[in-house]
Structure 1
Amino acid sequence: MLFDLTDLSLFRHIVEAGSITHGAERAHLALAAASTRVRNMEKSLGAPLLTRTRQGVSPTHAGRTLLQHARVMLAQAERLREDLSSFSGGLAGQIRILSNTNALTEFLPEALGTFLAQHPQVSIDLEERLSDEIVGLIAEGVGDIGIVAGTVDTGSLETYPFRSDRFVLVVPNGHALAQSGSVPFAEMLGHDFVGLDRASALQRFLTDKAARIGKPLRLRVQLRSFDAVCRMVEAGVGLGIVPQTTAQRVGRTMAITAIDLQDAWAARDLTLCVRSRAELATSARQLVEHLRGGPRMSS
């Protein structure tokens, strides 16, 4: 049984993507080459590694066993590459971060910008996910560092405080709701909304909340950033839900009013989570310390 690191990395990407095609793209391999590698792995093992359906692929029992060992071996290989990089002048390692929408848009750009400026040999792979998804993926070893809402059960993961924020409703100045001190999300569902695109973790979260209440979230426009959402709100297209930090920042130049949401989920204590800080590569441990060192409360 001869599997090289390319085989193991490809297999991990395929399982995480749920598709040989998308896994090959993530591994930067042609589809034909990726398919050949998978077939050769299965032939070498003498057992199928993937269950193939029209909806995609999933690991067999043997595949799940391989995936578990592959993640350990790839992490060790990454630490080896990082330890040796100082001798060759190459990159000191790649850090995989999984973040919810709030942290990704409002806090990480500045924090990662200063870290990368201080560590030019480090690269970062950043992916947006729902908080509960992140916990499971970090526990499985898919990512190095997760940033999740503080209300999520993180199980046995090591956690550290990151930032505090809250979601607010934004309306145009002069709107009938502009004088409200606070409002419940459920009572807003009769209004038109402006939101983020369907791939956004936050938008999926809000759509699910509306569905649980039994009312649709009436989205007139879906955009790629909170700033763009606020601009559309200012133009009277609909209401928006954005982090308080966003509303405070753009409110200096836009004619919008922020209103507190009464719902408990609107409060956002953001938390860093890792499987084990001691097991992280040096660069990932340094990033955890860097992120922990930032301001704890939003201004």
Structure 2
Amino acid sequence: MPANTRFDLIDLRLFLHVIDTGSITAGSKLSHLALASASARIRGMEDALGVPLLERLRAGVKPTKAGLAVAHHARLVLQQIERMHGEIDDYAGGLAGKVRLLSNTAAITGYLPQALASFLNSHPAIDIELEERPSHVIVAQLLAQIADLGIVADSTNIANLESKAFRRDRLVLVVPAAASGKSFSRQRQIAFAEALAHDFVGLDEDSAMHQHLTLQAERLGLRMRTRIRLRSFEAVCRMVEAGVGVSVVPAIEAESHAGAGKLRILKLTDAWADRQLLVCARRFDQLSVPAIKLVEALCAPAPSPSGKKPK
């Protein structure tokens, strides 16, 4: 490598945007650069290093092995700079920054709204970029340093990550309490394989919950017959009430919608249905100060329904 090789932070951020989007055009937009300027910067990096960093394809670009190495170090550099700014802000008496958090469906819908609302109100200068992903995808993106933190189920392989307990989560089967639910009238629990004999009401195909249940069905050599897909657990429960089908939802969601007596909740006997949700990171001691503060808030004891923390 030439001794005078230099990249500025704009180059590094641009390159990561291009890698993450698979497109120089999309990467330039995220970097607020003209396409010609972005292309010139990428070419300049390749000329300075003497190796191609991107493979140009008809449908976009993908990193070469050298490009992956540059992306890895670029993320480390930018994370260290963000951490430096966070610590300086902390010493100055105020926290500021952004934390990228990935989460599975159960945590996003049942547990994070209250926890994040409290955190954001207490830290007005910290923003959170929250995205839903299946647990196995979250692990891969944390290892690739695409996100700061992730919330996954403990059934996921997290051997190369550090983790802390977040919440206990249980998945249950909701069935209609009306006449169409008579086939479950004497049951209090059920195996997922048995439930798959019935029509399902589900979330969108791109939801982490749908992908998780599809994977469990495939492991059994079976398939879910989903009659309709909806965008929220509330809508799913309403459709189950109407007798359209059954559904697997987090217990916290089922209990909040079962009060009218139109739903019955059956325990799922499968081991994967009773799980611990975990907050994960590559290394907690390498996080920015805002991210560390968020971990502390998420892993604090959950408030009881009365608003008091359990003793």
1:119 equivalenced with 2:123 (yes/no): yes
1:180 equivalenced with 2:187 (yes/no): yes
1:72 equivalenced with 2:82 (yes/no): no
Q: Is the 8 A contact 1:165 1:298 kept in 2?
A: no
Q: Is the 8 A contact 2:177 2:261 kept in 1?
A: no
**Residues 1-299 of structure 1: matches in 2 within 5 Å?**
1-24=5-28, 26-27=30-31, 33-54=37-58, 56-85=60-89, 92-174=96-178, 175=181, 176-253=183-260, 255-295=262-302
AA aligned opposite 1:224: R
Question: For 1:30 and 1:200, how far apart are their aligned partners in 2?
Answer: 34
Q: Is the 8 A contact 2:95 2:123 kept in 1?
A: no
Question: For 2:184 and 2:150, how far apart are their aligned partners in 1?
Answer: 36
AA aligned opposite 2:272: W
Question: Percent identity at matched positions?
Answer: 47
Moved more, 56-65 or 236-245: 56-65
Question: For 2:257 and 2:32, how far apart are their aligned partners in 1?
Answer: 39
Structure-2 change in CA distance of 1:137 and 1:84 (3 Å)? same
Structure-2 change in CA distance of 1:188 and 1:117 (3 Å)? same
Structure-2 change in CA distance of 1:167 and 1:33 (3 Å)? farther
Q: Is the 8 A contact 1:83 1:92 kept in 2?
A: no
Secondary structure class of the residue paired with 1:211: helix
Secondary structure class of the residue paired with 1:272: strand
Two-structure CA RMSD over aligned residues (Å): 2.7
Pairwise CA distance, 1:55 = 5.4
Question: For 1:25 and 1:245, how far apart are their aligned partners in 2?
Answer: 40
Secondary structure class of the residue paired with 1:47: coil
Pairwise CA distance, 1:35 = 4.0
- 1:44-95 Cα offsets, whole Å, 9 max, x none, are 3332112233454331111011011101111012123334447999971100
Moved more, 18-27 or 273-282: 18-27
AA aligned opposite 1:43: D
Pairwise CA distance, 1:29 = 5.1
**TM-score, normalised with respect to structure 2:** 0.86
Question: For 1:57 and 1:140, how far apart are their aligned partners in 2?
Answer: 18
AA aligned opposite 1:294: P
Structure-2 change in CA distance of 1:34 and 1:224 (3 Å)? farther
Moved more, 133-142 or 111-120: 133-142
AA aligned opposite 1:161: A
Moved more, 174-183 or 102-111: 174-183
Question: For 1:28 and 1:249, how far apart are their aligned partners in 2?
Answer: 44
